[in-house]
Amino acid sequence: MPGLWVISIKDSVRDEKAKPLFECWVYPFGWSQDSDWIYAFGTGPDPDNEQEEIMIVSVEDGGVRDSFKLPFENVNVSTMSPDGKTFGCIVWEAQSDVWVVKNFDPELK
């Protein structure tokens, strides 16, 4: 099963004990300014969740601090603004739209 991994690029040695922060279908698309959190979208760590959502995931323990359920499916290529307040993505549908979520990470200044 796919999962969300954090891997150090300091050296090329693989840590055999390394585990994903959580296992699910997930796509990371950015980091918080302090590098303590990863912005990601996917179904999240809850195995009963089938709806895609945007998540703020702790690099330390994989905990999800906040999430936002997406009002559509077929999300591709996404980005977060540097201040963590605006999310942009491509939605693959018969008619393309661009959606913006403002103030997603209100703890950032």
β-bridge mates for residue 53, sequence order: 42, 69
> Residue 82 above 80 pLDDT?
yes
- Specify the pLDDT at position 96: 65
* pLDDT surpassing 80 at residue 97: no
Beta-bridge partners for 31: 38
Asked whether the beta carbons of 31 and 38 are under 8 A apart, the reply is yes
| Residue 37, Cβ density class (10 Å: 0-12 exposed, 13-18 middle, ≥19 buried) | buried
> 104 pLDDT exceeds 80?
no
Bridge partner residues of 5 (DSSP): none
pLDDT in tens, 19-75: 788 788 888 888 998 989 999 888 777 778 777 788 899 988 888 888 888 777 777
Q: Which residues contact 17 (CB under 8 A, 6 or more apart)?
A: none
**What is the pLDDT at residue 95?**
67
Paired strand residues for 79:
88
